[in-house]
Amino acid sequence: MAPIRVAAFFATFVLTTNAAVLRTQSTGPTLLSMNASTGVWPLLAYHLRMHMMEGDSSSTTKKTPTHGSAGCRCVGIDEIEGKTTVSLGDGETKAHAADVGAHCEAWEDGWHPDCKGSSPPAWCTQKWCYVDPCSCDGVADVPKPSDYLPDGMYQGKPVHYSYATCGASDSWTGDEKRKALKDVKETCSVSVDADVWGHEDCQCVGIGPQPGTTEVEIGGEQHDYPADTGAMCKKWDAGYHPDCKGESPPDWCGQAWCYVDPCKCKLAVSPKTSSYVPDANYQGRPVYYSYATCGGSDSYSAGDKKACVNKKTKEDCATLDKCAWDGKECLGKELVETCSKSGTWTPKVFAALLLTVISALRY
């Protein structure tokens, strides 16, 4: 990264940080917390990643997906295998990637029927992603309800999309629809059923209902599950997991669970890393699941050799990259490191920051 780009990076970071401070003063969280959605470190990582990507436009290396601006993050489970069916209007549907909308991408480019001609519309190459309309600040345009998934919900509210959070302009939404859009506050004022979308202190993070299938890894083999697996509290394994198809299935087959954000889960029982989708992520972090948020008990993890909680020593814990030892037990790395609530500049954190800057200067 050239010196001028380093300077630009820090200038952008400082400006965004100051804006974040102003936004959070009235709501409580402090900027220097390690909270994944409001902390200083996600902002730092996000802007560094964006500036590094800007300088690699000529590189043949695949760019790391980005997940929106710090105040309006993309939602949904990213990098999962499979297909979902989306609506194109007038009764027409088309298969798309199961993780469509989970990160910033020009999802229509080369896929949408209107984007295959010699003169495609401008929106074909514009990046966008699905967002939580109730947690979207600091972007140039308000999120809009999704046309692709008209029945899709995120945490009990209609799923919305945003071009602005991906740094793009919205040339898809027509003026008539813009005028007809209801106030986002009205959407966010509805009560949410915790039995469906999880406990208010640890809500589910997928998008559903969503037609189609996705692949999950069980015992080293791929198995088809619904495309919206983990999006809400449901007995997802019943009828799908190999062990749940017999006459006497284990107790966990009848337990509801969903995927959750470990950094926003404040229940007594911590969420656990998912072995079903080891290569997937939620906003750049490994995927976690919870039975507790759905009012159930976790008897599945006891037999899961890839579950961090089953590694009883520091040495065994170190054998799994997704795990970290907190001094007493083996937990998901995000629970131990990324999601720390400490606001102090510890030597470890400061060293990590210096290494990030030094690494940037080498380019």
- 96 has which bridge partners? 84
Q: Is the pTM of this model over 0.75?
A: no
Tens-level pLDDT at each residue, the chain (363 residues): 444 444 444 444 444 443 333 333 333 332 223 333 334 444 444 344 444 433 343 334 456 789 999 999 999 999 999 999 999 999 999 999 999 999 999 999 999 999 998 899 999 999 999 999 999 988 888 888 999 999 999 999 999 999 999 998 877 666 555 544 556 778 888 899 999 999 999 999 999 999 999 999 999 999 999 999 999 999 999 999 999 998 899 999 999 999 999 888 888 788 988 999 999 999 998 999 999 999 987 766 555 667 776 788 888 888 888 788 888 778 777 677 766 543 333 333 344 445 545 554 554
- Cis before 3 (ω within 30): no
Q: Give the amino acid at 328.
A: K
Task: Please state the φ and ψ torsions of residue 72, each to the nearest 5 degrees.
Answer: -150, 75
pLDDT given at position 359: 54
Residues 6+ apart with CB under 8 A from 117: none
Separation CA 36–CA 260 (nearest Å):
13
Q: What is the pLDDT of residue 332?
A: 75
Residue with tokens 């990590």: 352
Domain positions in the chain: 3-64, 82-190, 212-338
Give Cα separations from 292 to 202, 258, 266, 289 (angstroms): 9, 9, 11, 9
The per-residue pLDDT for 169 is 80
| Burial class of residue 42, CB neighbours in 10 A (0-12, 13-18, 19+) | buried
**Tally of CB atoms within 10 A around 336:** 18
> Between the CA of residue 313 and those of 271, 288, 304, 320, 338, what are the distances in Å?
19, 21, 16, 12, 21
User: What pLDDT does residue 301 have?
Assistant: 57
Distance CA 313, CA 329 (A): 7
User: Which phi and psi angles does 132 have, rounded to 5°?
Assistant: -90, 110
